Amino acid sequence: MHAPSHFAFAQPACAPAAATPVWLRRRVLMCCLAALVGTTAACGSDAASVDATQDVSTDATTSDGGNDTTPTDAEGSDGTGDAVDAGTAPAPRTWVFRAIGGVSMGAASVNLALQHPDYFDAAGGLGGYIDVRYMVAAGLRLQLAGFCSLKSLQQAMTDGIDLNDATKAPLCGPATPLYELEFAQDFNHLHFDDNGATFDRRFYRRVFQNLTMAFGNFTTGENPDSAYLPAGVDAADHYARSPSARCAAALPVPATQAYNAEYNPMGTYAVIPFCDQDRSSDKTFPESQFDPNTKSNQPWDILLAVDLNGNGKRDIAEPVFLNARERFEDVGVDGCPSVREDGQGGCLAKGAPAAKGDPNGDDFHWWDNAGGTEGNDWHDVDATDPSIAEPYDDFGLDGVAGTKDEGEADGVYSVSKAFQRARDVSAATAIALLKADKLKDLDLFLDSGIRDGLHAGVSTRRVVAALKARGEDVRFYKDHAGKPGSLLPSLQNAEILDKGFTADYSTATLGKHIYVEYGKTNPSPADLKAGDGKHVGTTQQALHRIMTFMAWAITRFPDPDSAPTPSASLGISDSRHIYSPALKARRNFVVALPPGYDDPANKDRRYPVLHFLHGLGMSVTDLAPAGLILTSKMADGDMPKAIVVFANGECCEVHKKTGAHHCACVEDPAKKGFLRCIEPTCTGDEPSCKILSVNKSDLDPECHSGSLFYNMHSDKWGKSRDDMRYADSVMDVVKAVDGLYRTRAPKLVK
């Protein structure tokens, strides 16, 4: 028998009674799964009507933009265009009977699996930003960019134009996207969306601040007093002043740290911290756009601006100060852009007629030329000869020769330390470096929407490219069902929620690695309003995403137990907590045990484990419907049995008075405004730990909403910490589960 839950945990209100007929229980469970994604659209009279905007089109391609086109390979194609032989016997493989997956923020499960390949057989990333290197690079090109040249801004000031006058000041945005699925935008005109979150200016600020907590400040060299703040900002003074005081009077960074090749090459102008707005005070003004007529009273903290007119604030035309990496020519390791390529791996002589196409075949494309180095937005070095690399200016991060800043004249291409950390944890980097035998024993399931507001699609495509560059079997599917080229083409969209759990997810049928892009090629206004192809997607897309991944992950394990097992207890079985060395505090998680786990007849039976990580703004309690769905399907015999674990990724809280680090708290149902928290320093078993009643007002989260499931480099107050290792805390849970439950031991399967 397993140990009893230490926390009381309520099942979701949509849970059907055990005696409910199977056909009715399935309909109720669809409603329950809909609750998981924040809608009741599936609760109508028929589960098949889960989404009025379901995709019944038969188009098999995604709209292409520029030269970056989606592949046209049919469903079942591998990276070389050859069909995988379903009759070939699988190679011997040691299974550890663990899978891990997650949605949005929780898609970092893929990064975890790649960092700990011995612990997992399969991993899934649903709509996440798992190639962090790309996300940072895209931020530098798009969300933090789009300003006019220094020359044009200087001319405007000479002409007496107010740089905060949006009708007259030079505004050169939006910044031009490099890749299909990217949105044109700039710092003043950020892309707005309301699918899964409200993408206003506050949202973007929090995203970049969380990334900075995770990796350090990537816009400048490192500040020795605070990895969070830009170089040159006096940390003691910064935090001694209130946010309103910081907005009222910005203190410039020292002149020696104010150089920037694009906007301050002579160090002429002051470079200052600045403030922004959450949204315009004009309710008719776009929520994600900067309104020069609204007071900016929210400190960015992590960014600087070039104060061209010297008025102590950032005006709408004034640029963000970006010294993230040395300037380079993204022309490929052959050293020449396509127009100068000779087709022999070298360059045409200067003055020769321009070449057409890509004569040297080095233009990067995530599917058609995954190993290409030209146009991939990263400085590349030849894999076989490090002396061959893309050209760059060894002038340091500020791009100005003679300032003796970080990276100048050191003979190597330099990026900020934070940018380097982001590169090191990126899924694409991990795939490139993972040993072949480890990569062979790990299967990946990836998905993204073609209209994801933060470019999860482009980020995920980079991971697909990394797999293809390693010669891995990757299959690309367009949507989940209902048409050729989709993941389950034999099913209609209205059928997938019922029949999709028993579909064939085998490697022989679907391939080793799976990538699904969802979203209509030609959506109607109603489709877009419903969220088609966006971060969460429509109700139907959201349900399909979660369900197909979980079915895929659990059915990948060999020797499945799929026998129907009626049970009076389904859903979340335990709410547990352990001492996490990574957080130096107790950490909570919840578990859904398979039907029959506690039956005396099964006391010697062991089970595989699926770990699932929640998204930003969610908690483990929000995943109760998923646990109910899965255990109900196991009881019906529609899905093999497994233990399902939901780890916590919320930000821990710091007690304002005691400094205690609380990472295991739940709402106190008996005391409004209070939490029930496990005493954080308890290192013993659950029964030995005290439960504390803590006033919510006494706690302050150490990061914004969610941890991103990465090991954070600092907290939101800029203090470097060694007890914010959220990624490692997930591994603490993974290891603890083996000691708490009857999990299956590794096995060599021939």
Is residue 265 assigned to a domain? yes
Residue 376 domain flag: no
DSSP 677: E
SS3 432: helix
The helix or strand, by DSSP H or E, that contains position 514, with its residue range, turns out to be: strand 513-518
Q: Would you state the pLDDT for residue 68?
A: 52
Burial class (CB in 10 A: 0-12, 13-18, 19+), 79: buried
Instruction: Give the span between the Cα atoms of 659 and 118, in whole angstroms.
Output: 36
For the chain, how many structural domains are there in total?
Answer: 2
Residue 354 in any domain: the answer is no
Q: What is the extent of the structural domain holding 191? A: 134-307
Q: Is-contact 529 617, C-beta < 8 A?
A: no
Q: What is the pLDDT of residues 633-642, one digit of tens each?
A: 999 999 999 9
Distance, CA of 589 to CA of 7 (rounded, Å): 10
In a domain, 255, yes or no: yes
Terminal-to-terminal C-alpha distance of the chain: 33
Final residue belonging to a domain, choices 279, 307, 335: 307
CA distance 295 to 276: 8
pLDDT for position 44: 41
- For CA atoms 348, 354, 358, 359, the dihedral sign is negative
What gap in Å lies between CA 426 and CA 418, rounded to an integer? 12
**CA of 743: how far to CAs of 442, 556, 635, 675, in Å?**
19, 16, 19, 32
Q: Give domain status of residue 349, yes or no.
A: no
Quick check: is 720 in a domain?
yes
Contact 314, 271 (CB under 8 A): no
Which of 253, 281, 307 is the endpoint of a domain? Answer: 307
At which residue do the structure tokens 């960074």 appear? 253
User: Of the candidates 307, 335, 367, which is a domain's last residue?
Assistant: 307
517 occurs within a structural domain = no
Q: Compute mean pLDDT per 10 residues along the chain, 750 residues long, and list them.
A: 49 51 51 51 38 34 41 42 45 94 96 98 96 96 98 98 97 95 97 93 95 96 94 94 93 96 98 96 94 96 97 97 98 96 94 95 97 97 92 98 96 96 96 96 98 96 98 97 95 87 94 97 95 94 93 96 88 91 97 94 96 88 82 92 95 96 93 95 96 96 91 93 96 97 95
Q: Buried b vs exposed e over 157-190: b needs ≥16 C-beta within 10 Å? A: beeebbbbebeebbbebbbebbbbbbbebbbbbb
Q: Is residue 634 part of a domain?
A: yes
Question: Is the C-alpha dihedral spanning 473, 476, 481, 485 positive or negative?
Answer: negative
Dump pLDDT digits (tens) for 300-332: 999 999 999 999 999 999 999 999 999 999 999
The residues, any chain, with a CB within 8 Å of residue 331's CB and separated by 6 or more, are 337, 374, 390, 391
**Beta strands, E only, 581-640:** 585-592, 609-613
> Looking at residue 641, what is its pLDDT?
96
